[in-house]
Amino acid sequence: MTSTNEKQKLLLLGFGDIAKRLASHLQKKGFGDYEITGIRRSVDSYAGVRVRQVDASDNAAMLAVTRENFDVIVITMTPDEMSDSGYQRAYVEPVQTLITALQKNTLSPQLIIFVSSSSVYGQHNNEWVNECSETCPTSFSGRRLLEAEKLLMNSPYTSSIVRFSGIYGVGRQRLIEQVRVGNVAKKVPVTYSNRIHSDDCAGVIAHIMARHKQAQNIDTLYLATDCQPSALADVKHWLGVQLGLVSDHFTSESIDVGSVNLNTVDSNTVDFNAEDSKPVSFKIGAKTLRGGKRCSNERLLASGYQFLYPTFKEGYKMVLDNLK
């Protein structure tokens, strides 16, 4: 391990959007000096980061990578396809490979952070969930993420799991595009949705790293979401107002359910489960549209984190301004 006068070695396992934002955040905000290495499947470059093309599921490659004795490892993987096997390759296999490599090298990083998702919760009646709530995922993505979480939690290493709700931000404006084409949500039944700006994702990870580095207590699990779970219809209505859409193009009250395009619905904010034999609310074709859940960020707030974008209004205003 490094001494207090040396830079800490940080490994970003999966160097995509959130990892890049984290690297930039650390460099700008002065959360500490880090030698940052990012690994990803494809070739890339990024200022201030040594980017290596490595398959995180390759045992020999990860054995070599971990020999560098990293102080902090942040796992921010993304699947190469939206399938059960894709999530197995993206989350379960890399976590198992990392643990095996660390054990073979007899190394123990100071902290491992794993980026997970609120999809591990299966609640769908608009109830509140927090870190103590039952995890009963209904999707393959939630099941695989929970499997990866358990691998890390059961390992001998100090770790913290961060479950992000629906991530939005610059480059992640699918909800805005839905509203642009009149793809909106019914007010009844109410479907609650949860979200977090991508810049806050980076901020939360940096916050946990900073607390740990300062020898402050960190929890093994955080549910990271903004301060205002909101009805999906209200979010889309607000976006429609900001976009200046006329009433015959946008209405949050009278839209025909059959007009919703299932290929573009945000899976982070609306929970579809075709396998459910007991519809909670109503159906669109063969799909069952279910109520959502309300995610609590009380534990994260109690740790001292201050949101850059505490509600969807501040966050989406930033995104919309960026699109002008």
The pLDDT assigned to 290 comes to 57
pTM (predicted TM-score): 0.86
The pLDDT assigned to 292 comes to 86
Task: Compute the distance between CA of residue 123 and CA of residue 94 in angstroms, rounded to an integer.
Answer: 28
The pLDDT assigned to 245 comes to 86
The pLDDT assigned to 184 comes to 75
The pLDDT assigned to 297 comes to 98
Fold of domain 8-169+194-228:
Rossmann fold (3.40.50)
Q: 10 Å Cβ neighbour count for 139?
A: 19
Q: How far is CA 41 from its chain centroid?
A: 19
The pLDDT assigned to 31 comes to 55
Intervals of the chain under pLDDT 70: 1-5, 29-32, 246-291
Task: Compute the distance between CA of residue 97 and CA of residue 77 in angstroms, rounded to an integer.
Answer: 13
CA triple 97-98-101, angle to 5 deg: 85
Q: 10 Å Cβ neighbour count for 99?
A: 19
What single string gives the DSSP state of each residue in 143-190? HHHHHHHHHHHTSSS-EEEEEE-EEEBTTB-HHHHHHHTT----SSS-
The pLDDT assigned to 33 comes to 83
Peptide bond preceding 189 in cis form (omega within 30 of 0) = yes
Identity (one letter) of the amino acid at 271?
D
The pLDDT assigned to 288 comes to 45
Cα-Cα-Cα-Cα dihedral of 76, 81, 84, 86, to 10°?
A: -60
For residue range 24-56, list pLDDT tens digits in order.
Answer: 999 886 655 899 999 998 888 898 899 999 999
